[in-house]
Structure 1
């Protein structure tokens, strides 16, 4: 049995697209035999929001503790929330990997989080970056330094964006 671990950024615009990808991959890979299990890792709070379908035997959910500020009021301190995502989820995620039933053959992680890539590299597990937003939004974030150097931004955000998004592989 193969296991793919899916790690979405804890936000609806990231989790829902990753679940769609998970369903698509599961239906294609498991068309004739159930040989691949997809394990989606979310916080306990997010599992309560999702209400997963019980009839999907090849898609499982596992949780990490609520180490982040609640989704219900994260907008009051967005930078604090984003910082917590980058600093507090790795430890519980490693514990989940240590307790998996089947060997992890692949990790698919949201590209906005850098720590899953380090975890995968340390464990010698292949990792794929998943970007759930449009290519144009990726290009803007990826090239924010150029936009800033050409005075096309009205705020100095390059330090924050590069720290939070694009230090993917340590």
Structure 2
């Protein structure tokens, strides 16, 4: 053998096993039908096919169940320059001029790519500046750290103003 191979063997010296070809086999599992937990009753369905939820006594339940106010609270921003209304659709919610922002501010070169972030924690909303070049302001004061948002508050990102609306 050649010196530069140092320990390697020629392919003709070793047996390489062939690769097994595995074919896709369809597996069909047939299960027995599962009976419903509660038997169907005629009283829970009307002529139009509307299903009514029955309470434990078997009577129609007309009371309303409230799931919790935090599940329903939403935050909206109104861009005062254009009147555009923006709904906070995710948390965290990034505002800036970069393509990865949740709300893209177009037509304002003073806004940073990732200017500010809005987060929902429990029932409260908070805003934080993301080390933007032209800063974020609340009531004319430069924002330092996280700040709790309230309804009808004005947030200023650089020279762009937004009105906060929190709806339940």
Shorter-chain TM-score tier: under 0.3
Between 1 and 2, higher relative CO (CA 8 Å, sep ≥ 6) is seen in: 1
Which structure has the greater CA radius of gyration? 2
Superposition TM-score, scaled by structure 1 size: 0.21
More strand by share: 2
More helix by share: 1
